Amino acid sequence: MEELLARKLIVEIGKLLYERSYVVSSDGNVSIRLDENRVLATPTMTSKGRMTEDGLAITDMDGKALNDKKASSELAMHLLIYKMRPDIKAVCHAHPPHGTAFAVAGLAIDQPILSEVILTLGCVPLTDYGTPSTNELTESMKPFVEHHNALLMANHGAVAYGEDLWQAFDRLETLEHTAKIAILSRALGGANDLPKDAIEKLINIREKAGYLTESARCQSCGYLHESNIICELDEKSANKPNSNGAKVSFTREELIDLLSQVTNSR
Ligand SMILES: [Zn+2]
């Protein structure tokens, strides 16, 4: 994306995040992937409501500074997402109160209660707690980045990402709005789930309309596993976490052995 436009957009989205109380103080961070090797990111220790276009940091894909501004300490989270998802060009991390309440209570946003959410976002998993700005945090996100477009991080907050910054922000907003409705409906006695066949219809519609790709069928949390929808990418993808989202690790030798078994069995 063109750099001047990207700078304007990050300042604009930062104001929205602050005005909508998705962040306070210097919380949260936003970035745009400018090209293959450069990321434009919000600076450290700065309110997202008071940023200036010339105050933003630029780094390479390893987080190395390419200008004289220091990027947010949580940039590693963004870089992980860009590396795992070449389709993603913008990331928005914040602590929106209702979504974060789910994360603090140890809950994913995975009840099939709103048709629009199934159409545009799918379920939002909860990743294990990891200390911010360390690789504990990025390690706990890894199993979920591929098939989801928004994540909750335990005792921390939320991150959403998209093909551009508006899509990333919209996904964060949908996450927060869904969490708010879920909390309110629980206060009124509980939410009614959509029936299985309605979920399946919505999934078919969202794929035909191009809201989400088939990858979203492989989401590791909640209601997709209760429907008859099958994740066909499961068999094709070696990186896919199992349905519990557990991490699996191999030595180099084990991986080569496994891959040669797969090749031989074809
Ligand atoms: Zn944070």
- pLDDT, one tens digit per residue, over 85-110 is 999 999 999 999 999 999 999 999 99
In angstroms, the CA 95 to CA 101 distance is: 9
Across 55-70, average pLDDT: 97
How many angstroms does the Cα of residue 263 sit away from the middle of ligand 1?
A: 42
How many angstroms does the Cα of residue 73 sit away from the middle of ligand 1?
A: 9
pLDDT tens for each residue of 114-135: 999 999 999 999 999 999 888 8
Enter the tokens of residue 168: 């990333």
Distances (CA, A) of 104 to 133, 141, 159, 188: 18, 16, 14, 21
Query: Which band of pLDDT confidence, cut at 50, 70 and 90, is reported for residue 167?
Result: very high
pLDDT above 50: residue 37: yes
> For the residues of the chain, what is the DSSP string, one character each?
--HHHHHHHHHHHHHHHHHTTS--TT--EEEEE-SSS-EEEPBTT--TTS--GGG-EEE-TT--BSSSSPBPTTHHHHHHHHHH-TT--EEEEE--HHHHHHHHHT--B-----HHHHHHT--B-EEPP--TTSHHHHHHHHHHHTT-SEEEETTTEEEEEESSHHHHHHHHHHHHHHHHHHHHHHHTT-PPPPPHHHHHHHHHHHHHHTSS-GGGGG-SSGGGGGSS---THHHH-TT---TT-------HHHHHHHHHHHHHT-
Residues at Cβ < 5 Å from ligand 1 ion: 157
pLDDT tens for each residue of 140-155: 999 999 999 999 999 9
Query: Which band of pLDDT confidence, cut at 50, 70 and 90, is reported for residue 244?
Result: very low
Catalytic residues: 74
* Residue where the block lists tokens 């360390």: 134
How many angstroms does the Cα of residue 98 sit away from the middle of ligand 1?
A: 15
How many angstroms does the Cα of residue 218 sit away from the middle of ligand 1?
A: 26
Q: Which is nearest to 176 in space by CA: 158, 191, 156? A: 158
How many angstroms does the Cα of residue 31 sit away from the middle of ligand 1?
A: 13
Q: What is the pLDDT of residue 240?
A: 43
pLDDT above 90: residue 82: yes
How many angstroms does the Cα of residue 146 sit away from the middle of ligand 1?
A: 20
How many angstroms does the Cα of residue 105 sit away from the middle of ligand 1?
A: 16
pLDDT above 70: residue 265: no
Whole-structure pTM value: 0.85
Describe the strand order of the beta sheet including 157-162 as a list of residue ranges.
57-59, 39-41, 29-33, 90-94, 157-162, 150-153, 126-127
Angle in degrees, CA 6, 9, 12, rounded to 5: 155
Percent of the chain having pLDDT more than 70?
A: 87
Query: Which band of pLDDT confidence, cut at 50, 70 and 90, is reported for residue 249?
Result: low
- Do the beta carbons of residue 29 and residue 75 sit within 8 Å? yes
pLDDT tens for each residue of 176-234: 999 999 999 999 999 999 998 899 999 999 999 999 988 898 887 766 666 777 787 65
pLDDT above 80: residue 162: yes
- Do the beta carbons of residue 129 and residue 154 sit within 8 Å? yes
How many angstroms does the Cα of residue 19 sit away from the middle of ligand 1?
A: 17
